[in-house]
Chain A
């Protein structure tokens, strides 16, 4: 299980720009007429869904769902001071899943014709081997709360409206510091339309916007080069990009890059570590989040298996996984198997409270699903996945936490992490931070890995500040070959001891 914030750098980036989507969804329509628009958008109707259910369950499956998705992604890139590249991607299809107990049959098709869908339904049906007859299932519309309304949908924003944003960021970067020699900027937006129906008689639709801006720069000083990056990611429209935000992208990138010139490596080994508020939430994602995904616990392969209702941390520690934070990257109105989004307590006042469930695990444990059934796209069956994972604020002040450390590390920005959920070993990579000496931040540090054991590190969180902050970057979580957008957050906290990479 891994997570990475390197959103945009890959070569195979797809995308798209405006005006080629043949649809117009009103914002002010009632749910049922919007449902009609989603039906016509995908070229289907209720009867076709009922027919899929009846084919999919014809060999005795317990449950079936269908997941229609149309995603339009656009990427615009700047390099060598010119907006000289653009990528687009259009993805369209339906995934059909059949469950029999804990078993999954899955197929998808990119051709939404009755014939192709029937073939896919039959393929998925094969997970069961008996017979079954299904009467037409009536579908009740779920209308979840919208946590990410946008003024303008991304496909209505033309490329020439976006290009000046990249140029402004680039100009600002070069004006800030003479040491900057190169910059690279990606501006990414995505519209995803989803229609999902499940054989328990539910249907829902969702519009999921996303934007990610990724800025990196290289600076040179006395023949030495350093490169660093900064990104902002959010489920919002172009109105998010105020002049202030564009400045922030440039300023943070330059600041994070030039600070590396003076950076040192700490002496490696165990030490006190203070995690800055914000993206330090990567600690929670790796140390506990993955281990609480219920598929691992159902298979008894997580270090948190059999620990529900047991104390795992001090009372000041409460950790949630929440899909309802307005506009945050990991938020979802509804999960990818028709369960409405919610806030789930992993740890409440130090006690382990709930796993993160999808329908399979909830059924296995005989509990309610928690809305964590997510998938990368219609090509994949859903799995229990995190949304926004964060710690609630505590009683301490940031200053008193730093002051309490004699020799330690203040970790501020991160690039990636990984966990082995059975052994509980996890890591996260500190891109930048500071040494703490006698209660004060002193020299900057860079490029060091931190490694620990999930349950042990949770017990060692002994100070939690009141300055909670959500991460802003484009975090993507990888599991079983599927990437999903997530976020994380943390107030400033102290871990009394953890192993920090460093020099001899």
Chain B
């Protein structure tokens, strides 16, 4: 579907919804094309190609709200769909807080060129994609004689969308995203077959790391787990590798949403302006980074994106406020979801941080566990590497860390200089002191 056609269809739906009785509406149409390849044992394991359409509607009928989606974009079927969605909405309870965002929130630049669309996408042939993933697998296979199996993976997605809000917002997006990497499984004597992965993501094809690097990293990560074992419970310094920090950051982030605050499911309720972590933590939500994996000039409601400080030297500065819960709380909406997270990064790489650790565990992955957003209680499984006197001694696994997430972040003593580049959350490696690990 071409841009003009998509926009016309969205406007047509918007008008039809109005005629059917909706006071306000938001119409979102997206079309995407996705290609996925898995490569193993010198041949393609799976090749998948597809295109996908979707329409979603938010309806406001006499202060009653419902939302609907379908992948059938046929106009005749849509007329019926529209009639039915509007008429069912009437059965719901009135809710005076339900309406589109205030028009003022649409002000500002919403058509910035954030460089999210790779101009080379249309020139890319399946052959090139297969060649890339073949090279990743080949590099993995050559890396270690401990390797049992390596599967290289590649995917890309091209998507286009339009959003039409009946109170005057129209926004369009075109974006590309690429992912490439591998998973590897290695022998560990009679014990087990430890596995790990290394995956990269980027907005532009040519910015993916080399296949050699990706294949070798995946195997190296698996190999470093060989000989892993549970050790005695105790107090350790904890360093978390950048790519795994998202797990404990998520435990802080869930409770920052306006819905959690309003529904009394957040231990961060009432904490704006208060110290919630150690002063080493500063987080900025920056939606406007060119080529960023979480970049956007407007959010899923049409609210204009702006750079905001979320945590500054450990002090909570802002929540994530969507328009509905913002109205309920009497707070100005600023977007209900995170975009790119950037940090005030430290001065040293992780390997230098390790050198100063007397007794510590470098956590390379979390496994399972959860956190309680209402109280901040958490408990996570971890695996990683034991550090003694500045040196990595051996891999460890089958251990848990348990406590309160705000207290945990209070023990942050250093932040690395190594933002994780393959996620919209550009987390650095982090170092905490005095953490209890449960093991044997």
Contact = CB atoms under 8 A, between A and B. Distances in A.
Interface of A: 2, 11, 14-17, 19-20, 79, 82-93, 102-110, 120, 123, 126-127, 159-160, 163, 181-182, 184, 218, 220, 224-227, 265, 268-270, 286, 299-303, 305, 379, 381, 415-429, 446-453, 499-504
Contacts of B400: 268, 427, 448-451, 499-502
Contacts of A268: 233, 400, 402, 436-438
B84 interface: yes
12 contacts: A84-B93, A84-B98, A90-B72, A92-B70, A104-B47, A218-B263, A218-B264, A268-B436, A286-B368, A301-B185, A423-B193, A449-B381
Given A16-B68, A160-B91, A499-B439, A504 B48 contact: no
Nearest to B370: A429
Nearest to B64: A84
B356 interface: no
A421 B43 CA distance: 23
Given A19-B84, A90-B70, A269-B233, A305 B368 contact: no
B375 A226 contact: yes
Given A84-B93, A85-B66, A102-B45, 19 more contacts: A20-B84, A84-B64, A84-B92, A86-B66, A86-B89, A89-B68, A127-B44, A218-B263, A226-B374, A268-B436, A269-B233, A269-B439, A300-B193, A301-B195, A419-B367, A422-B194, A423-B195, A427-B369, A446-B372
B429 to A, nearest CB: 22
A452 B398 contact: yes
A416 B81 CA distance: 36
Given A225-B264, A227-B265, A163 B91 contact: yes
Nearest to B397: A425
B317 interface: no
B379 A501 contact: yes
A449 B380 contact: yes
B340 interface: no
Contact of A381 (B48, B69, B70, B264): B48
Contact of B402 (A84, A182, A452, A503): A503
Contacts of A302: 193
Contacts of A102: 45
Contact of A418 (B69, B71, B84, B367): B367
Contacts of A427: 367-369, 381, 400
Contacts of A226: 374-375
Contacts of B44: 103, 127
A420 B221 CA distance: 14
A503 B436 contact: yes
Given A82-B93, A160-B91, A418 B48 contact: no
A159 B86 CA distance: 13
Interface of B: 40, 43-53, 64-72, 80-81, 84-85, 88-89, 91-95, 98, 126, 148-149, 151, 185, 188, 192-195, 225, 228, 230, 233, 235, 263-265, 336, 367-375, 377-381, 383, 397-403, 436-440
A300 B148 contact: yes
A84 B71 contact: no
B368 A227 contact: no
Given A110-B52, A499-B438, A501-B438, A305 B367 contact: no
Given A225-B374, A429-B368, A499 B47 contact: no
Contacts of B50: 106-109, 120, 123, 379
B98 to A, nearest CB: 7
Given A15-B68, A447-B379, A104 B45 contact: yes
Q: At the interface, is chain A mostly helix, strand, loop or mixed? A: strand
Most chain B beta carbons < 10 A, residue from A85, A220, A302: A85
Contacts of A418: 367-368, 381
Contacts of A499: 230, 398-400, 438-440
Most chain A beta carbons < 10 A, residue from B85, B265, B372, B381: B381
Given A448-B402, A453-B398, A429 B379 contact: yes
Nearest to A4: B370
Contacts of B98: 84
A85 B72 contact: no
B49 A123 contact: yes
A370 B45 CA distance: 22
Nearest to A22: B80
A228 B85 CA distance: 32
A420 B193 CA distance: 9
A151 to B, nearest CB: 22
Contacts of B126: 126
B400 to A, nearest CB: 3
B264 A182 contact: yes
A420 B381 CA distance: 12
B84 to A, nearest CB: 5
Given A449-B402, A499-B400, A79 B185 contact: no
Contacts of B374: 218, 225-227
Contacts of B367: 418-420, 425-427, 451
A126 B72 contact: no
A226 B373 CA distance: 9
Contact of B192 (A92, A225, A270, A303): A303
A500 B65 CA distance: 45
A301 B148 contact: yes
Contacts of B185: 299-301, 422
Contact of B46 (A86, A286, A381): A381
Contacts of A86: 66-67, 88-89, 92
A451 B47 contact: no
A270 B438 CA distance: 8
Contacts of B71: 90-93, 110
Nearest to B398: A451
A429 B46 contact: no
Contact of B88 (A90, A123, A159, A504): A159
Contacts of B225: 423
In the A-B complex, the 4 residue pairs with the smallest Cβ-Cβ separation, listed nearest first, are A268-B438, A427-B368, A501-B400, A422-B193
Contacts of A15: 68
Most chain B beta carbons < 10 A, residue from A19, A225, A426, A447: A447
Contact of B52 (A227, A379, A425): A379
Contacts of B233: 268-269, 504
B46 A182 contact: no
A282 B398 CA distance: 17
B46 A103 contact: yes
A449 B375 contact: no
Nearest to B372: A447
Contacts of A417: 368
Contacts of B370: 415-416, 429, 447, 449
A1 to B, nearest CB: 10
A300 B380 CA distance: 28
Contacts of B437: 268
Contacts of B228: 423
Nearest to A216: B265
A203 B197 CA distance: 39
B372 A227 contact: yes
Contacts of B48: 104-107, 381
